[in-house]
Structure 1
Amino acid sequence: MPDHPPHLPPATHAGADAGWRLRLYTVIFEADTRAGRLFDLVLVAMILGSVAVVVLDSMAAVHARHAGVLAALEWAFTALFTVEYLARLACVRHPLRYARSPLGVIDLLAVLPTYLAVAVPGLHVLIDVRVLRLLRLFRILKLGAYVAEFGMLGRALAASRRKILVFMAFVMMVVMIMGTLMYVVEGPEHGYTSIPVGVYWAITTMTTVGFGDITPHTDLGRVIASAMMLLGWGTLAVPTGIVSAEFTVQRMGRTPTTRTCHECLSEGHAPSARFCRDCGAPLPPWQRDAGPGDATPGP
């Protein structure tokens, strides 16, 4: 789980850690209990439903016929997300720091535009209503906190970033050389009026997009274009292989639980862990549902 909104008081504050804040925290931020899993599933459904409402509301025909229903659904989703946001602030240790974290900002953006449209009636003078609808689509970013594969993708991309940067540098050198070569070979009379135009052609050709607005007319130019197309096939496979390899590593080192540190919000601690592997903070007892062969629901 990314970033580090500060959470509940240290484990030495037994009263706070053993009370309603701990129970609420476990439900909202972890998914090893039935309540936590149900909360995540309901929240994912709410996110997808609210995004569907925004998308439908942008369609003129649907808006004309069902504007009232869509407005009611929008306010219902906004109210639910507001309650969820306040619940998060209530169970974390330092609400202000959580509110300023990336996840906290996304949570706020999920509810803020609806209230802004009411609180500032003249807002349409400064900002188009469509921008407010776009801000509401930030709700879809909340999915990243509840689907494990989003975390795997983020970690795989982060681990691959240096290889991808090297690959992109190689691609830029190739398109620069080939674009310049096409500018020399074809010339302005065939549409290649400058080196940037030649580089644009090289990029569209290498990525197999091929808009067709600029095409080679000479035999040598067609040979170069053919080489670029064949090179593009192999080139596009490189980043796929890099990220796929990192996915394999992530899958082999898959997080065993959704147990989350209350201090730094890092996820996936082992059931027997007593301290956070990232910040060293004490971990409260792992809470989960008892399995078929378990005698008790705890560690």
Structure 2
Amino acid sequence: MSEQNSNTNWRQKLHEIIYEADTPAGKLFDVILLITILASIILVMLESINSFDEKYHTFLNISEWIITILFSIEYIARIVTVKKPLKYILSFYGIIDLLSTIPKYLSLMLAGTHALVALRALRLLRVFRILKLARYLGASNQLANAIKASRAKISVFLFAVLIAAIIFGTIMYLVEGEENGFTNIPKSVYWCIVTLTTVGFGDIAPQTPLGQLIASIIMILGYGIIAVPTGIVSAEYTKATGSNDKKRISDEEQKHLKDFQLNTQCCVNCLSQSHQDGAEFCHKCGCKLHYD
């Protein structure tokens, strides 16, 4: 019984350090983890510079191996400290953690794959949990909903732009011809899209007066086209914001919500977060938040 309690205690302690950011040890672990991730990304970037890699290749390689081994230990620790390891392995962060670890091992068999460790940048998403930024994601959700509500209008608009690009591209092919770089219709459509989006690479340019006139019209249209999707999304966003204003809660309810503090406590069973302070059971699966 004593051995079982000891086993439970160290798993519980390790779980709190790795998965929670409200304790001093948890905050320290997460900050060190983010610094290590940043250091790893910088090492990969430096390694891609040939002159730097030739001079410090051994240092870069050893450093990257040390970080990879540390991440491997962390990945294993995350698995052994939860009741359902498969839940973590197949989760969003679990897949990212695995993908950020295996490239260095793959580089032993497949040359060049070590550069994939840049995927570790995705692990920086954990900063939302550490700094408790999730509570400020309401505005971003409103914007996402506005874009989602606008998808039909934007799809029709993009389809109309594509048709216009094909028409203008075909006209430019007929007006300019192969001698001026418009060697075929697809290439002419490519030029039209580049011009409409106001990018203008300059690899193809109209030479005839009529072609330059048409190009000027396309450029002016391009500025107008840029404003259309912005207006569509802005209208939907304003509509969504107005609806939310009508649903504002009372002062009493707002005060109650302020007292309802959430933390980063992570369930050992389903890995759900955002539990109320002092909660003993998970709000999602109903299991005890800590080991028995």
Scaled by the length of structure 2, the TM-score of the pair is 0.71
For 1:236-247, what aligned pairs fall within 5 Å after superposition? none
For residue 227 of structure 1, the aligned residue among 221, 225, 239 is 221
Gaps of 5+ in 2: 177-181, 245-253
For residue 83 of structure 2, the aligned residue among 76, 93, 99 is 93
Shift of 1:212: 3.0
Distance 1:270 1:206 in 2: 52
For residue 97 of structure 2, the aligned residue among 107, 112, 119 is 107
Secondary structure at 1:106 match in 2: helix
For 1:249-264, what aligned pairs fall within 5 Å after superposition? 256-264=262-270
Distance 2:100 2:42 in 1: 14
Distance 1:150 1:133 in 2: 32
Say if 1:56 and 1:62, in contact at 8 Å, map to a contact too: yes
Say if 1:21 and 1:91, in contact at 8 Å, map to a contact too: yes
Give the structure 1 partner of residue 127 of structure 2: 146
Shift of 1:220: 4.5
Distance 2:269 2:146 in 1: 28
Please, which moves more after superposition, 153-162 or 174-183? Answer: 153-162
Say if 1:175 and 1:199, in contact at 8 Å, map to a contact too: no
1:210 counterpart letter in structure 2: G
Say if 2:197 and 2:222, in contact at 8 Å, map to a contact too: no
For 1:164-179, what aligned pairs fall within 5 Å after superposition? 165-166=151-152, 168-179=154-165
What are the Cα deviations for residues 4-58 of structure 1, in whole angstroms up to 9, with x where unaligned? xxxxxxxxxx969962222222221121111111111100000000111111112
Shift of 1:198: 5.5
Q: Does 1:186 align with 2:172?
A: yes
What are the Cα deviations for residues 49-81 of structure 1, in whole angstroms up to 9, with x where unaligned? 011111111211111111121122112111211
Residues 136 and 218 (structure 1), Cα distance of their counterparts in 2 relative to 1, 3 Å cut: closer
Secondary structure at 2:277 match in 1: coil
2:164 counterpart letter in structure 1: M
Say if 1:53 and 1:74, in contact at 8 Å, map to a contact too: yes
Distance 1:273 1:198 in 2: 64
Please, which moves more after superposition, 182-191 or 153-162? Answer: 153-162
Gaps of 5+ in 1: 1-13, 286-299
2:199 counterpart letter in structure 1: V
Residues 180 and 108 (structure 1), Cα distance of their counterparts in 2 relative to 1, 3 Å cut: closer
Please, which moves more after superposition, 217-226 or 71-80? Answer: 217-226
* Structural RMSD (CA): 3.9
Q: Does 1:281 align with 2:275?
A: no
Give the structure 2 partner of residue 213 of structure 1: 203
Work out which structure has the larger RCO, using CA pairs closer than 8 Å and 6 or more positions apart in sequence.
Answer: 1
Richer in helix (by share): 2
Distance 1:70 1:246 in 2: 50
Q: Does 1:66 align with 2:51?
A: no
Distance 1:208 1:184 in 2: 19
Say if 1:17 and 1:284, in contact at 8 Å, map to a contact too: no
Secondary structure at 2:93 match in 1: helix
Q: Does 1:136 align with 2:117?
A: yes
Select the structure of larger CA radius of gyration. Answer: 2
Shift of 1:147: 3.0
Secondary structure at 2:265 match in 1: coil
Scaled by the length of structure 1, the TM-score of the pair is 0.70
Equivalent pairs: percent with the same residue? Answer: 29
**Number of aligned residues:** 258
Shift of 1:91: 0.3
Give the structure 1 partner of residue 249 of structure 2: none
Residues 227 and 98 (structure 1), Cα distance of their counterparts in 2 relative to 1, 3 Å cut: same
Say if 1:260 and 1:267, in contact at 8 Å, map to a contact too: yes
Shift of 1:283: 4.6
What are the Cα deviations for residues 137-187 of structure 1, in whole angstroms up to 9, with x where unaligned? 121111112334589499737645623633541342232232133135434
What are the Cα deviations for residues 212-237 of structure 1, in whole angstroms up to 9, with x where unaligned? 33456253552243122232145357
Give the structure 1 partner of residue 247 of structure 2: none
Distance 2:114 2:262 in 1: 38
Residues 241 and 99 (structure 1), Cα distance of their counterparts in 2 relative to 1, 3 Å cut: farther
Distance 2:272 2:286 in 1: 11
Residues 115 and 231 (structure 1), Cα distance of their counterparts in 2 relative to 1, 3 Å cut: closer
2:45 counterpart letter in structure 1: V
